[in-house]
């Protein structure tokens, strides 16, 4: 675990339990406080795999979801309703989805207790090349808390690879806006 300024960053090898580092706190937040955790993830297949795994174990049932391309409008609407009503407490989304007006509005009304950026190294590697929304994550999270006199959101970063230069870029893009 390293500190990217004031945000914990888990640096664990692939298969080293990165998902558990945020799924366990998300479970506690869900079970005892009915609070929302949002995981920003770069890959649709990774999100789907995580959701299938979570839904196969006890508490999560239908409390975990992902919003991804390829879902029907009805499926997406049901998930959005579940987030709003509090029946979904763990949500996987892409940075591009976070940018949408619908998500920004929803997450500014049901503010997540915990934000996680999975595969955080992609902020540096993909943000400048072909997915600029990775560079907007910090500002988009901050937007959900705009105009409120509340404490800054809890953010956690996880990755298997992050050289010192990558950690510095993450500080600049994610941490500074918060």
Secondary structure string (H, E, C) spanning 107-126: HHHCCCCEEEEECCHHHHHH
CA pair distance 85, 154, nearest whole angstrom: 22
pLDDT of residue 3: 43
What tens digit of pLDDT does each residue of 131-146 get? 889 888 989 999 998 8
How far, in whole angstroms, is CA 48 from its chain's centroid? 14
Report phi then psi at 155, rounded to 5. -130, 140
pLDDT of residue 77: 97
- The pair of structure tokens assigned to 156 is 């956690």
CA angle 86, 72, 100 (to 5 degrees): 65
| DSSP 8-state assignment for residue 172 | I
Residue 158: CA count within 13 A, CB half-sphere: 20
What tens digit of pLDDT does each residue of 4-49 get? 445 667 777 777 788 889 999 999 999 999 999 999 999 999 999 9
Q: How many CB atoms lie within 10 A of CB 84?
A: 12
Q: Which of 70, 66, 69 is nearest to 83 (CA)?
A: 66
Give the pLDDT band (50/70/90) at residue 170. Answer: confident
CA pair distance 3, 96, nearest whole angstrom: 26
Q: What average pLDDT does the structure give for the chain?
A: 86
């Amino acid at each position: 675990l390293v500190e990217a300024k004031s945000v914990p960053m888990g640096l664990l090898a692939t298969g080293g339990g990165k998902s558990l580092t945020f799924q366990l706190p998300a479970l506690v937040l869900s079970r005892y406080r009915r609070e929302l955790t949002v995981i920003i993830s770069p890959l649709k297949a990774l999100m789907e795999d995580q959701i299938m795994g979570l839904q196969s174990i006890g508490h999560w049932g239908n409390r975990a979801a992902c919003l991804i391309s390829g879902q029907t409008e009805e499926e997406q609407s049901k998930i959005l309703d579940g987030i709003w009503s509090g029946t979904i407490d763990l949500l996987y989304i892409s940075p591009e989805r976070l940018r949408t007006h619908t998500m920004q509005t929803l997450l500014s009304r049901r503010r997540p207790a915990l934000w996680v950026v999975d595969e955080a190294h992609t902020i540096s590697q993909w943000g400048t090349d072909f997915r600029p929304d990775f560079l907007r994550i910090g500002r988009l999270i901050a937007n959900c808390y705009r105009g409120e006199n509340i404490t800054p959101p809890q953010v956690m970063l996880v990755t298997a690879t992050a050289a010192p230069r990558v950690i510095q870029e993450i500080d600049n893009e994610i941490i500074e806006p918060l």
